[in-house]
Structure formats: structure tokens, C-alpha cells
Amino acid sequence: MKTRTRALIFIFTLLVLSGILAFASTIPLSSSDAQSLSQGVEGIHATTTAIFQNNVQIALLEFVPAFGPAFGAYSSFDTGLAISALAQTNPNSGLSGLELFIFLLFTPIYWLEFACYSLAVEESMSVLVSFRNRDFRKTEWKWLLGSILFVVTTLFVSAGIEANMINIVK
């Protein structure tokens, strides 16, 4: 697959996953659902290792051909619901789920993580195309390996930043 095509798929994927996240952050939840989701989010330990493990599991599943794009959409939707739940269970903040999403756009965490997730989804589609074109062994395996190494490394850096930001806010 040409680099230009990969870049276009990456950008499209980033926009779609971001749109799903934004949409889900606006969904009103029942108070019990919001409380349950918030407790789940707050139950994640704010350590680099715990955040990294969570994010790398998501990204690696998004690399799976055919399954990756669907899982990426599900993961973005679920994260949006968690943002909505955090907004609803913290009324003193005065922020809606959409406002929390917009705030998230101004953090490096969002851009690092969603770039990785978008790359993983793009690569899962590229692997499918390479199987169809019968050139996986020739070129695609290099793109796949490079993408996985980039995603894992970047998500580790992002997890460190995220853990530090969470601990500063606490």
C-alpha cells in the first residue's frame, strides 16, 4: 500500500475514532450507570505500568486484521461513555462530557494515544490488503513490525505523562 494511502486512512481513522469518542461523551447515563463507570475508571491505578498495560492491550487488539477497526470503534465509544460518566458524577466541576472531551483535546495524552490507536487500526486494514495482494512477506511485515514498535514505545511515554498528570491533579 502506498504511503499516501496509509496517511489518508490514518487521518480518516483518527477523525472517526475522535468523532465516536466525542459523540459518546455527550450521552446521558442513568445515575447508577454513571456511578458504576466512574468507579471503574477511578479503580485504574494511576501508575505508568497500569496505564501502559491498559493502553497497549487496546492497541494490540486494534492491530488484529478485520477485528481491529471494530474494536477501535468500541473502545472509543466506551471511553466516551467513561468521560460522560465522570462529568455526571462530578457536578461540582461544572463541565459536561463534551467539555471534558474538548479539554482532553488540549493534552498531549489524547494526541499520543489516539495517534497510536489510529495507526494500529490503519495497519490492521493494511495487513488485510497485503494478504489480498499477496505481498505480506515482501513488504507489509516490516510496516507491521515498525508500527507495533512505534505504538508500544509511544504508549509507554504517554503512560508516564498521564500518570504524572493524574498525580498532579490529585
Asked whether residue 127 is assigned to any structural domain, the reply reads yes
- Chain centroid to Cα 29, Å, comes to 21
Asked whether residue 150 is assigned to any structural domain, the reply reads yes
Residue pair 94/88 in contact by the 8 Å Cβ criterion: no
Asked whether residue 108 is assigned to any structural domain, the reply reads yes
Asked whether residue 114 is assigned to any structural domain, the reply reads yes
Number of domains in the chain: 1
Inform me whether the pLDDT recorded for 97 exceeds 70: yes
Inform me whether the pLDDT recorded for 42 exceeds 90: no
Size of the chain, expressed as the number of residues it contains: 170
**Residue 9 pLDDT class (50, 70, 90 cuts):** very high
* Tens-digit pLDDT profile for residues 49-96: 999 999 999 999 999 999 999 999 999 999 999 999 999 998 888 899
Asked whether residue 57 is assigned to any structural domain, the reply reads yes
| Domain of residue 112, residue span | 3-165
Asked whether residue 112 is assigned to any structural domain, the reply reads yes
**Residue 170 pLDDT class (50, 70, 90 cuts):** low
How many Cα atoms are found within 13 Å in the side-chain-facing hemisphere of 91?
3
Cβ neighbors of 41 (< 8 A, separation 6 or more) are 82, 85, 86
Alpha-carbon span 51 to 54, nearest angstrom: 5
Asked whether residue 170 is assigned to any structural domain, the reply reads no
Alpha-carbon span 118 to 8, nearest angstrom: 11
Inform me whether the pLDDT recorded for 103 exceeds 70: yes
pLDDT given for residue 153 in this prediction: 98
* Tens-digit pLDDT profile for residues 134-148: 988 888 899 999 999
- For 145, counting Cβ atoms within 10 Å of its Cβ (0-12 exposed, 13-18 middle, 19+ buried), the class is exposed
Model-wide pTM > 0.75? yes
Asked whether residue 76 is assigned to any structural domain, the reply reads yes
